[in-house]
Amino acid sequence: MDFAYSIAGLLVGILVGLTGVGGGSLMAPLLILMFGFSPATAIGTDLWFAAITKTVGSVVHRHVGSPNWKIVGRLALGSVPAAIVTILWLQFAHGGELKADLLKSVLGVALILTAVLTPLKTYMKEPLRSLRRSLGPGMRRHQLIATVVGGAVIGSVVTLTSVGAGALVAVLLMLLYPLRLDTKSLVGTDIVHAVPLALVAAIGHFWLGNVNWVLLGTLLIGSIPGIIIGSLLAGRINENLVRWALAIMLAVSGTKMLLS
């Protein structure tokens, strides 16, 4: 079974490196539905998995110069404080975790939303660029506030479910910065921002007691080489096929989560 965890980590790591999506979106459902872990443990462990795996991916993307650091800072200005507030809310209002059935429902909804958004990103690029050009320079006045507020919403969602640091951030960036970010910069910015967010949320779940360290180590054996491979291949293969396959897996996982 330990070998199966490492293989799962490898496959998820490759997807994260390729698309910026797939860490929490796939690993948490795998741990719950396939390997039988409780939702709270799966989410807490998965956040550490995402933080460490995406740190490696961010180093690769930084080396090729793809992240936009100003936008990373704007996102983190909203997402990191929101993650801290959400952890405190979980501790003092819910004793450290939501009920298992409620967590599955929240996770299922987040997965289905991610499944819908993941393949649509490719088709949204040109319409959003045209819209951005028509809005003119006045749009820049609203980008900062919208990025911080969007980051805050995503920070809470990620802390609760470990889902959203990839697909939701990517769609937000496409909405707000369609002219500034090409595909490589969008993926790089997405992955780099996910590191501080996932790390803060992961530390919070460690404080809440929701982390399985043996499981985490086994997952990382596969995921670290996986995300290096995926990051180096980003932009070199047909990402549309990868995204549609990922969307189908997410939709199936989300539906099973809601029905289980």
Tally of domains within the chain: 1
The C-alpha atoms of residue 172 and residue 154 are separated, in whole angstroms, by 10
For the whole model, what pTM was predicted? 0.80
Residue 81 contacts residue 152 (beta carbons within 8 Å): yes
Kindly give the interhelix angle for 100-135 and 140-161, rounded to the nearest 10 degrees: 160
The pLDDT value recorded for residue 84 is: 96
Which pLDDT tens digit goes with each residue over 86-98?
999 988 887 767 7
Residue 15 contacts residue 189 (beta carbons within 8 Å): no
HSE on the CB side for 179, CA within 13 Å? Answer: 12
Q: Which amino acid is at 242?
A: V
Low-confidence winner among 4-18, 70-84, 97-111, 229-243 (lowest mean pLDDT): 229-243
User: Across all residues in the chain, what is the average pLDDT?
Assistant: 81
The pLDDT value recorded for residue 195 is: 84
Residue 102 has pLDDT above 70, yes or no: yes
Domain that includes residue 171, residue range: 2-259
The C-alpha atoms of residue 18 and residue 126 are separated, in whole angstroms, by 21
Which pLDDT tens digit goes with each residue over 155-187?
998 898 888 767 778 878 888 887 677 777 777
Q: Which of 46, 9, 11, 10 is nearest to 28 (CA)?
A: 46
